[in-house]
């Protein structure tokens, strides 16, 4: 004890040598997460390599918004990225400054870029610093200047040369593999990004690897692109200066919103989305002059809002949540601006379109009827969920929630939904208790297809899972960024996955649409010799590992999560864990898909399975 006290009393050295000043590019390279969020390898849509592309595109979009350049060309080949716009081009004398000097840009002057996204002068400088090669070339009125860099250090700079190319800016970069390990761009994520750009900028054309993206109807096209159920009435489309809104309802549970600020997709919402939700409920309630519950008015809503704000303030460098309370230095509050617009335009629309107002009223009344029908069950279920000892019985929470940290590190938090004591025990012992929670199922959950939301409260498993996620009133209260289904890679495990996905699709589809649901991939084999161990997720990886291991190799086939020791499990649920994201697209037609796979058409489904059966040979330990 004396030795411990002696150790604790020794002060930590703190002198001149501890104070360091980093060059701007070194700071970005050491702390990339401050500038582009997580790094990743391109597996997920929010990985850093897509943020690099977006930072470059934002400048080209700003040019279009200012009235210059109707076409943007994007080329992505073998990990290299090229973006060519046909705007005004960077002023030739400032080509080097805008690409390599921090806090340099035209967007500090709101007269030049009144309602832009990138206002902090970091954007392409971060791309430059995080690229092994970066080229910028500007063409203006028959003259051109270019500069080349490696990790933000200039390697070549041209003078001002004559050119016959049209005005605009070209940026070409290669993300640095020292920072983005084994990265690979996925077309599906790039295309989703580009679609949003054209939906928000009617008339803009983006060419991506020769494929054309263009929108005539703005946010109406966005809703039609993303809806996986049929709208109950034609999409309401209202526009004003600095605001565009589209609204409809469908026969789905939950609320589904897409929000944007100055062309930036604010996936985490913010002040504008909160104001819109509140105004939508209030105006509809006043229109019908009935004391509807806001939850009934918004049940099944599918909507999008896009606003333009002067000098927007976001809550992070990646600009996914708006923090601005005002529309600009001299403008009204965001809440008043949106509230006044919705009050006038939506009220007018409903008066002019009685068929739409009748359909909307019917939807609200149906939601009210269902809510009242399960009111008693809901109240009892809530009380039961509160009384249930979640932290011991079903949920082993993570410390950010146990400490009531109010969402700190929420982007890094996750919950594993697993089945059985042995599997949940292994994960619990292996997890990071600060950020990773575990919810343990008892056997297979109920097939919820075709059932009403009453079952969510009557079924103990679903009731407690809903309470653990805190999604009863929408995703605003979601306690974990990633909801990870962790089941065995056998028939029973696959069935549990389908039952859970069915539950989410049926009652909380926005949980999937907003990219929160994942499947944990765990290794099927372990191959090792005396020097090294390989964990293999496929037969191909197993064959390659055996070849690499040589003689005297030991091969183990993992048949269940409970068979993997906690010490080994740490390798599979760390920051490099393999996850498959559960996604939804318009062509998925959720209702038809669920009816076929989870409905009562047993013989049709059985014949489908027989026709598509793939028989795998058992792997014998060698």
Q: Is the dihedral of CA 573, 578, 582, 585 positive or negative?
A: positive
Cα separation values, 209 from 131, 336, 395, Å: 21, 43, 47
Cα 393 to chain centroid distance, Å, stands at: 31
User: What is the DSSP code (8-state) at residue 163?
Assistant: -
Strand pairing class (436-441; 482-486): unpaired
SS3 202: coil
CA atoms of 137 and 158, how far apart (whole Å): 9
Q: Is 103 helix (H, G, I), strand (E, B) or coil?
A: coil
Residue 238 pairs in a beta bridge with 245
Among the residue ranges 104-108, 379-383, 564-568, the one predicted with the least confidence is 104-108
Is 179 in contact with 173 (CB distance < 8 Å)? no
Q: How many CA atoms lie within 13 A of 504 on its CB side?
A: 24
Task: Specify the pLDDT at position 113.
Answer: 47
Least confident residue range of 68-72, 164-168, 381-385, 496-500: 381-385
What is the rounded distance in angstroms from the CA atom of residue 355 to the CA atom of residue 236?
A: 12
The DSSP code sequence of 497-556 is HHHHHHHHHHH-HHHHHTT-EEEEE--SEEEE-SS-EEEESSHHHHHHHHHHH-SS-EEE
Three-state DSSP at 201 gives coil
Of 559, 418, 421, 538, which Cα lies nearest the Cα of 490? 559
> Per residue in 114-149, pLDDT tens?
555 554 446 788 899 899 999 999 999 999 999 999
Question: Tokens for 170?
Answer: 């070209």
Spatial CB neighbours of 560, under 8 Å, sequence gap ≥ 6: 422, 423, 488, 490, 493
3-state secondary structure 416-447: EEEECHHHHHHHHHHCCCCCEEEEEECCCCCC
Q: Give start and end residues of each alpha helix (H) in 130-236.
A: 187-200, 219-226
Over residues 525-552, mean pLDDT: 90
Contact 139, 166 (CB under 8 A): yes
Q: Residue 105 and residue 111: Cα distance in Å, rounded?
A: 13
Separation CA 511–CA 504 (nearest Å): 7
CB 43 within 8 A of CB 579: yes
Question: Contact at 8 Å (CB) between 586 and 228?
Answer: yes
Highest mean pLDDT among 25-39, 95-109, 244-258: 244-258
How crowded is residue 308: how many other Cβ atoms within 10 Å of its Cβ?
Answer: 19
The one-character DSSP state at 230 is -
**How many H-runs (helices) and E-runs (strands) does the chain carry?**
24, 23
Q: Which residue has the tokens 């279920």?
A: 381
Q: How far apart are the first and last CA of the chain?
A: 53
Confidence of residue 489 (pLDDT cuts 50, 70, 90): confident
Give the C-alpha separation, 90 to 137, whole Å: 8
| pLDDT for 609 | 67
- Please count the other Cβ atoms lying within 10 Å of the Cβ belonging to residue 142: 12
pLDDT of residue 185: 94
Determine the pLDDT at residue 407: 45
Under a CB-based contact definition with an 8 Å cutoff, are residues 507 and 253 in contact?
A: yes
Give me the pLDDT at residue 543, please: 92
pLDDT of residue 161: 92
Torsion of Cα atoms, 46 then 51 then 57 then 58, to 10°: 90
pLDDT of residue 134: 94
In the predicted model, what is the mean pLDDT of residues 568-588? 80
Q: What is the pLDDT of residue 393?
A: 67
Of 36-50, 133-147, 306-320, which range is least confident?
306-320
Strand-pair category, 205-208 with 153-157: unpaired
Q: Note the pLDDT of residue 114.
A: 53
Element (DSSP H or E) covering residue 284: helix 271-288
517: left (phi over 0), alpha (psi -120 to 50) or beta: beta
Question: How many CA atoms does the CB half-sphere of 275 hold within 13 Å?
Answer: 27
**Rounded to two decimals, what is the model's pTM?**
0.77
Structure tokens at 420: 């059985």
User: Under 8 Å CB-to-CB from 169, ≥6 apart: which residues?
Assistant: 59, 60, 63, 84, 85, 87, 89, 90, 136, 137, 138, 139
What pLDDT digit, counting tens, does each position of 149-194 carry?
Answer: 998 889 998 989 999 999 999 999 999 998 888 899 999 999 999 9
């Amino acid at each position: 004890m004396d030795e411990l006290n002696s150790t604790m009393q020794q002060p930590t050295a703190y002198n001149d040598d501890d104070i360091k000043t980093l060059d701007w590019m070194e700071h970005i390279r050491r702390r990339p997460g401050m500038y582009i969020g997580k790094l990743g390898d391109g597996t997920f849509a929010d990985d850093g390599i897509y943020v690099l592309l977006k930072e470059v595109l934002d400048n080209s979009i700003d040019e279009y918004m200012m009235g210059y350049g109707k076409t943007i060309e994007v080329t992505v080949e073998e990990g290299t990225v090229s973006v060519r716009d046909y705007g005004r081009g960077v002023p030739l004398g400032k080509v080097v400054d805008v690409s390599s000097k921090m806090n340099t840009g035209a967007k500090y002057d709101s007269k030049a870029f009144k309602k832009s996204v990138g206002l902090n002068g970091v954007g392409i400088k971060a791309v430059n610093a995080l690229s092994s090669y970066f080229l910028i070339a500007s063409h203006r009125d028959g003259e051109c200047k270019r500069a080349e860099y490696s990790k933000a250090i200039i390697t070549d700079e041209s003078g001002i040369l004559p050119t016959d190319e049209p005005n605009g800016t070209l940026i070409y970069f290669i993300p640095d593999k020292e920072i983005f390990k084994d990265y690979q761009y996925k077309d599906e994520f790039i295309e989703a990004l580009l679609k949003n750009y054209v939906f928000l900028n009617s008339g803009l054309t983006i060419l991506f690897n020769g494929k054309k993206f263009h929108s005539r109807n703005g946010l109406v096209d966005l809703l039609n692109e993303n809806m996986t159920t049929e709208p109950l009435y034609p999409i309401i489309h209202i526009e004003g200066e600095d605001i565009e809104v589209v609204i409809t309802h469908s026969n789905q549970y939950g609320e589904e919103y897409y929000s944007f600020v100055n062309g930036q997709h604010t996936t985490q919402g913010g002040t504008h989305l909160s104001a819109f939700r509140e105004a939508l409920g209030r105006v509809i309630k006043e229109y019908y002059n009935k004391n509807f519950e806001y939850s009934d008015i918004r049940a099944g809503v599918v909507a999008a809002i896009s606003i333009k704000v002067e000098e927007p303030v976001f809550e992070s460098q990646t600009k996914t949540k708006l923090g601005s309370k005002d529309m600009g230095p001299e403008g009204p509050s965001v809440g008043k601006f949106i509230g006044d617009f919705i009050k006038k335009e939506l009220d007018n629309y409903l008066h002019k379109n009685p068929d739409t107002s009748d359909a909307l009223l019917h939807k609200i009344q149906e939601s009210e009827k269902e809510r009242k029908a399960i009111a008693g069950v809901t109240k009892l279920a809530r009380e039961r969920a509160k009384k249930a000892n979640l932290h011991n019985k079903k949920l082993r929470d993570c410390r950010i929630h146990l400490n009531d940290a109010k969402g700190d590190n929420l982007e890094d938090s996750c919950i594993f939904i697993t089945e059985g004591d042995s599997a949940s025990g292994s994960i619990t012992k292996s997890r990071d208790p600060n950020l990773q929670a575990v919810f343990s199922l008892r056997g297979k959950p109920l097939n919820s297809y075709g059932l009403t939301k009453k079952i969510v409260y009557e079924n103990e498993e679903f009731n407690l899972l809903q309470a653990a996620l805190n999604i009863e009133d929408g995703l605003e209260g979601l306690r974990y960024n990633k909801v990870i289904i962790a089941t065995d890679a056998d028939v029973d495990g696959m069935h549990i996955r389908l039952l859970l996905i069915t539950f989410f699709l049926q009652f909380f589809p926005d949980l999937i649409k907003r990219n929160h649901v994942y499947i944990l991939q765990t290794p099927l084999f372990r191959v090792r010799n005396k020097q090294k161990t390989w964990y293999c997720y496929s037969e191909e990886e197993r064959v390659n590992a055996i070849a690499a291991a040589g003689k005297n190799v030991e091969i183990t086939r993992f048949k269940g999560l409970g068979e993997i020791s906690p010490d080994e499990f740490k390798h599979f649920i760390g920051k490099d864990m393999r996850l498959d994201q559960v996604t939804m697209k318009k062509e998925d037609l959720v209702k038809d898909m669920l009816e076929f796979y989870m409905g009562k058409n047993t013989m049709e489904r059985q014949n489908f399975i027989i026709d598509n059966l793939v028989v795998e040979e058992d792997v014998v330990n060698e």
